[in-house]
A and B are shown apart, each in its own frame.
Chain A
Amino acid sequence: MPQPFREALASGRFLVTTEVGPPKGTDLGGFLHHVDLLKDRVDAINVTDHQSSVMRYPSLGGALLVQERGGQAILQMTCRDRNRLALQADLLFACTRGIRNVLCLTGDAVAVGDHRGARGVFDLDSAQLLDAVRTLRGGKDLGGNELVGGFDMCAGATVTPEARPIEPQLIKFEKKAAAGAEFFQTQAVYDLDRFRRFMEHARRLDARILAGIILLTSARMARFMNANVPGICVPDALIDELASAGKDKAKALRKGIEIAARAIAAIREQGLCHGVHLMAIGREEVVPEILAAAGIGGPPPPTTS
Chain B
Amino acid sequence: MIRTITRQKPLAGILVGLGEARRVFIVGCGTCSTMCRTGGVAEVAAMADALGREGLQITGTAVPPVACDDLDLAVLDEQAAAIDAAQAVLVLACGFGAQSLGARRAVPVVPGVDTLFVGKERGPGRFEEICRQCAECVLADTGGICPVASCHKGLLNGPCGGTRDGKCEVDREMDCAWTLIYQRLDRQGRLDRMRRLQPPRDHRAVLRPGKLAIQPGEEEHGDAPAV
A interface vs B, CB < 8 Å?
Answer: 84, 106, 108-109, 111-112, 120, 122-128, 131, 142, 158, 160, 163-165, 167-169, 171-172, 174-175, 178-179, 187, 230-231
- Tell me, yes or no, whether B108 is within 8 Å of chain A by CB: no
A122 to B199 Cα, complex, angstroms: 13
11 interchain pairs, CB-CB under 8 A: A106-B153, A106-B155, A106-B160, A122-B154, A127-B197, A131-B197, A169-B158, A171-B194, A174-B195, A175-B195, A230-B162
- Tell me, yes or no, whether B163 is within 8 Å of chain A by CB: yes
Given A165-B179, A168-B158, A171-B191, are A128 and B200 neighbors across the interface (CB < 8 Å)? yes
- Tell me, yes or no, whether B159 is within 8 Å of chain A by CB: yes
Shortest distance from the beta carbon of B17 to any chain A beta carbon, whole Å: 20
B161 and A231 within 8 A (CB) = yes
Who on chain A is nearest to B165 by CB? A164
B159 and A127 within 8 A (CB) = no
Partner of A109, one of B153, B197, B198: B153
A149 to B87 Cα, complex, angstroms: 63
Write out, one digit per residue, whether chain B residues 172-199 have a CB within 8 A of any chain A CB (1) or not (0).
0000001101100010000100110111
Shortest distance from the beta carbon of B129 to any chain A beta carbon, whole Å: 15
- Chain B residue numbers with a CB within 8 Å of A165 are 166, 179, 182
- Chain A residue numbers with a CB within 8 Å of B191 are 171
In B133-172, the 8 Å CB interface with A consists of 152-166, 169-170
- Chain A residue numbers with a CB within 8 Å of B194 are 168, 171
A164 to B164 Cα, complex, angstroms: 6
Partner of B161, one of A106, A164, A175: A106
Shortest distance from the beta carbon of A215 to any chain B beta carbon, whole Å: 19
- Chain A residue numbers with a CB within 8 Å of B165 are 164
Who on chain B is nearest to A109 by CB? B170
Shortest distance from the beta carbon of A159 to any chain B beta carbon, whole Å: 8
A142 and B200 within 8 A (CB) = yes
- Chain B residue numbers with a CB within 8 Å of A187 are 161
Shortest distance from the beta carbon of B136 to any chain A beta carbon, whole Å: 13
Known contacts A171-B182, A171-B195; 20 additional CB pairs below 8 A are: A106-B153, A108-B162, A109-B153, A123-B201, A125-B153, A126-B160, A127-B158, A128-B198, A131-B197, A163-B159, A164-B165, A164-B166, A168-B158, A168-B179, A168-B181, A169-B159, A171-B191, A171-B194, A187-B161, A230-B169
In B9-59, the 8 Å CB interface with A consists of none
B195 and A109 within 8 A (CB) = no
Shortest distance from the beta carbon of A253 to any chain B beta carbon, whole Å: 27
- Chain A residue numbers with a CB within 8 Å of B170 are 109, 111-112
A127 to B198 Cα, complex, angstroms: 9
- Chain A residue numbers with a CB within 8 Å of B153 are 106, 109, 120, 122, 125
Write out, one digit per residue, whether chain B residues 81-97 have a CB within 8 A of any chain A CB (1) or not (0).
00000000000000000
B163 and A230 within 8 A (CB) = yes
A168 and B162 within 8 A (CB) = no
- Chain B residue numbers with a CB within 8 Å of A106 are 153, 155, 160-161
A123 and B197 within 8 A (CB) = no
- Chain B residue numbers with a CB within 8 Å of A125 are 153, 155-157, 160
A108 to B162 Cα, complex, angstroms: 8
Q: Which of B154, B155, B181, B194 has the most CB of A within 10 A?
A: B155
Given A122-B155, A128-B157, are A175 and B197 neighbors across the interface (CB < 8 Å)? yes
- Chain A residue numbers with a CB within 8 Å of B178 are 168
Q: Which of A122, A164, A179 has the most CB of B within 10 A?
A: A122
- Chain B residue numbers with a CB within 8 Å of A127 are 157-158, 197
A178 to B186 Cα, complex, angstroms: 21
Shortest distance from the beta carbon of B171 to any chain A beta carbon, whole Å: 8
Q: Which 8 pairs of residues, A with B, have the shortest CB-CB distance?
A: A172-B158, A230-B164, A168-B182, A127-B157, A106-B160, A122-B153, A125-B155, A160-B161
A30 to B161 Cα, complex, angstroms: 29
A13 to B153 Cα, complex, angstroms: 37
Shortest distance from the beta carbon of A155 to any chain B beta carbon, whole Å: 14
Shortest distance from the beta carbon of A21 to any chain B beta carbon, whole Å: 17
A112 and B169 within 8 A (CB) = yes
Who on chain A is nearest to B167 by CB? A230
A171 and B158 within 8 A (CB) = yes
Who on chain A is nearest to B181 by CB? A168
Given A109-B153, A171-B191, are A163 and B161 neighbors across the interface (CB < 8 Å)? yes
- Chain B residue numbers with a CB within 8 Å of A171 are 158, 182, 191, 194-195
B197 and A167 within 8 A (CB) = no
Shortest distance from the beta carbon of A107 to any chain B beta carbon, whole Å: 8
Who on chain A is nearest to B180 by CB? A168
- Chain B residue numbers with a CB within 8 Å of A167 are 182, 186
Partner of A168, one of B159, B164, B198, B201: B159
A230 to B176 Cα, complex, angstroms: 12
Who on chain B is nearest to A186 by CB? B161
A126 to B162 Cα, complex, angstroms: 13
